[in-house]
Amino acid sequence: MPDFPDFPATTLVLVRNADDLKADPPRLVDHDDLGLSQEGQTKAERLRDRLEATGELAGATRLLSSSARRAIETATIISPALGGIPVETSCGFCEPHVGERDGIAVDEWLATLGQDRLAHWSPYAGKSPGGESVRAAIERAARSLIETAIDNRGGTVVIVTHSIPLRASLWAFFSLPYHGVPNELETSYAGITEWRADGWVAGTGQLQAKLVRFNDCAHLAPGAVWGSPATPPP
């Protein structure tokens, strides 16, 4: 593991994508989802308004997004509050990739599983050939988060992602053991989770990071109007 004795404080701000449109009938979808619903657009706009009013992420150096349409649209909406920095996409921050049956209707997919259906709910099994298991997706997202911190030392990187990579951040930075079932910690659409990395844990090669906030969604509270004198910044 490389040594960075002058590792400056580096901030990773993870934003969960806003609410997406649901296909009818439901489908297994990788990147090509239907994008944000009207409610999702509203939530992303409320996050943008908060960031513009508070300036809490002023000076952000990069804006990354998973390759899913719902994440890209969320990132595009909040970009003006970050100085208009361009959205860069990366599969490192995607949910588990579906594989060969990407786009298949859920009912049709379940019918193809037959008696092996229960095995495909395992966190160690992909949903179709070529797909990722939950475990593999957590490892991939954790690696992407660590590499992003190393590559952007001293910066503030905003990453629009999803629930599994958010859980992966806990696994990566808290060194939590993996027991086969991902932590069912609640995360809100358009919520903010923030980590600050500032070096290596002595003698371990583990990236040292502090959890600054988890699932901050004050901008979604009823009556929250950011920038209004009636609702001061947090």
Q: What is the pLDDT of residue 174?
A: 82
Rounded to the nearest 5 percent, the helix, strand and coil shares of the chain are 35, 20, 45
Residue range 6-42, pLDDT digits in tens: 788 999 999 999 999 998 898 988 898 999 999 999 9
Residues paired with 11 in a beta bridge: 156, 196
SS3 6: coil
Q: What is the pLDDT of residue 207?
A: 82
> How far is Cα 232 from Cα 147, in angstroms, rounded to an integer?
36
Task: Beginning with the edge strand found earlier in the chain, give each strand of the sheet holding 192-200 in spatial order.
Answer: 87-89, 62-65, 156-161, 10-16, 192-200, 207-216
SS3 190: coil
pLDDT at residue 216 greater than cutoff 50? yes
Average pLDDT over residues 76-99: 96
Residue 61 and residue 89 in contact, taking contact as beta carbons nearer than 8 Å: no
Q: Give the residue extent of every domain in the chain.
A: 10-220
Number of H helices, E strands in the chain: 5, 6
Name residue, tokens 């150096």. 61
Residue range 117-164, pLDDT digits in tens: 666 677 888 888 888 998 999 999 999 999 999 999 999 999 999 999
Percent above pLDDT 90 for the chain: 61
Residue range 121-133, pLDDT digits in tens: 778 888 888 889 9
**CATH class assigned to 10-220:** alpha beta
> How far is Cα 144 from Cα 139, in angstroms, rounded to an integer?
9
